Every structure is written in C-alpha cells, then in structure tokens.
Amino acid sequence: MNPIPELLVDDRGPVQVLTMNRPEKRNALNNALTEALLEALRAADADEEVSCVVLTGAGPGFCAGADLAEFKDLTPDQPHPVERRAELTMRLHQVFSHMTKPVVTAINGAAMGGGAGLALAGDLAVMAESAKIGYPEVRHGIVAAIVMPNLVRQIGRKAAFELLATGQPIDARRALALGMVNRVVPDAELMTETLKLAGELAAVSRPAMATTKQLFYQVAETPFDQALAAGRDANRRMRGFRK
C-alpha cells in the first residue's frame, strides 16, 4: 500500500496546482514536504507544458509552518541536521523568485510562521475571507528568521516589525490593506478566483513573462540607475522576440 503523498500535483491545462497534503497537521512543513515542494517547483519551472503554478493547502489550513514534532529533534548537540534543515528552508523560500514562471498562492486557511512565508513567497496571493496570517515564532522564544527578508521587503518596516515582534495573527482584510495579498475572496470562491487569475497569467507570452519576472526581482533590490540600465538591457533582449 502506497503512503499518502505529502504533496499533490494536479495539471489543469497550462496551470499546475500544488497542494500541500498534510491536513491532519495543518500542512506543517516537515523535511519530506519541504523537499517535495522544492522539487515540484523546480520541475514545474522546467516543464514546457506548465505556464503558471498555484500553491495551496489541503483541509482547513494553508500551512502551520514548521512541523514542531520534527523540530524537537533539532538540538544544538546535532549541528548537521540543524544546518541541513536551515539550508533546505532557505532554498525553498528562495526558489520562488528564481523561477521564470509565476506562482499564485491560494491561502485557504491559517498561514503561520513558515506557512506565512510561503503565502507571501508567491508572485501573487489570493486569500480566503476566513483565513489568517501571522508570525508567532517570537512567542515561542524563536525568530522568524528565514521568512523575515521577504516580509520586510513587501510591507515595510513598521508593519513588518509589529507582526514579527508581537506574534499576533491578522485577518485577510488587514493582510490586504498591508499589501501582503492581492485579493480577498469568499472562502467558497477561493480556487475559482485563483485559477481564473492563474489562467490569465498562463496566457501571457512565455518569454515576456519570464523576462518580466526576472527583471521585477532584479530592480526590486537594485539602486534606481542600475535598475534603469537593467530595464534597458531587457528592452533590447525582448525586441528579439517580436515578430
């Protein structure tokens, strides 16, 4: 008897839906799910049949963050497993911006800690009305370390520090107001609206989307004059794709 997969992969035309599949654990990230996500995102980016990826969670939660049952074994006297897990987590959160294809997160329920990081790691995010998002690490005596850079870049310092320092979750409307997500929709309409948005992205010219995404993340972290130069270079490259 085959075990239930940690990650479900469902191709819907040019849109590939990745569903974290540990509903009994609120899709908490153990090593197996983290590795499966990283491999699936890389595979989707390399697959000529896929133009857009949707990431969501099975059951009532999007992702509860790190699997505490697994993390209890990551202690200072075992440096190699600790280092391996930190490296794996970093690579997962890094892969989204390195992909050439857009990723839309469908936040169907609570997204906490590392799960909040995943919710924001996508290029676009659609959030169910009842969902919440938060960074509770500080309340457990730890730090939301790997997910911090993306949060600070997306919503600004004051709001980001409040979320990180208080550990208090916020609702979907507040997340929308802060710019953490693009849209808030009724729970029952989440996947319909997300797949509609993903379909629009999938219909865009592949070279245009890849260049847009690459340039977007480049200019977001680059001084203005350098960003303009990068834009000029992309403009020159893209003229080669025009018929």
3-class SS string, 34-94: HHHHHHHHHHHHHCCCCCEEEEEECCCCCECCECHHHHCCCCCCCHHHHHHHHHHHHHHHH
Helix (H) or strand (E) holding 225: helix 224-239
Give the largest CA-CA distance in the chain.
61
pLDDT at residue 146 greater than cutoff 70:
yes
Catalytic annotation present for 137: yes
Q: Name the amino acid, one letter, at 34.
A: T
59 touches 27 (CB < 8 A): yes
DSSP 102: -
Secondary structure (3-state) at 29: strand
pLDDT, tens digit (0-9, with 9 covering 90-100), for 160-196: 999 999 999 999 999 999 999 999 999 999 999 999 9
Give me the domains of the chain, ranges plus CATH numbers: 7-202 (3.90.226.10), 206-239 (no CATH)
CA nearest neighbour of 101 among 127, 126, 122, 125: 122
Query: DSSP states of 164-190 as a string?
Result: HHH---EEHHHHHHTTS-SEEE-GGGH
Q: Name the amino acid, one letter, at 222.
A: T
pLDDT, tens digit (0-9, with 9 covering 90-100), for 209-222: 999 999 999 998 88
208 touches 242 (CB < 8 A): no
Burial class (CB in 10 A: 0-12, 13-18, 19+), 9: middle
Angle at the Cα of 143 from the Cα atoms of 138 and 144, rounded to 5 degrees: 100
Q: Which residue has the higher pLDDT, 68 or 192?
A: 192
Those residues with Cβ within 8 angstroms of residue 208's Cβ, 6 or more apart along the chain or in another chain: 238, 241
Mean of the per-residue pLDDT values for the chain? 92
Catalytic residue among 137, 162, 189, 221: 137
pLDDT at residue 86 greater than cutoff 90:
no
126 touches 105 (CB < 8 A): yes
> Where does the pLDDT of residue 73 fall: very low under 50, low under 70, confident under 90, or very high at 90 and above?
low
82 touches 71 (CB < 8 A): no
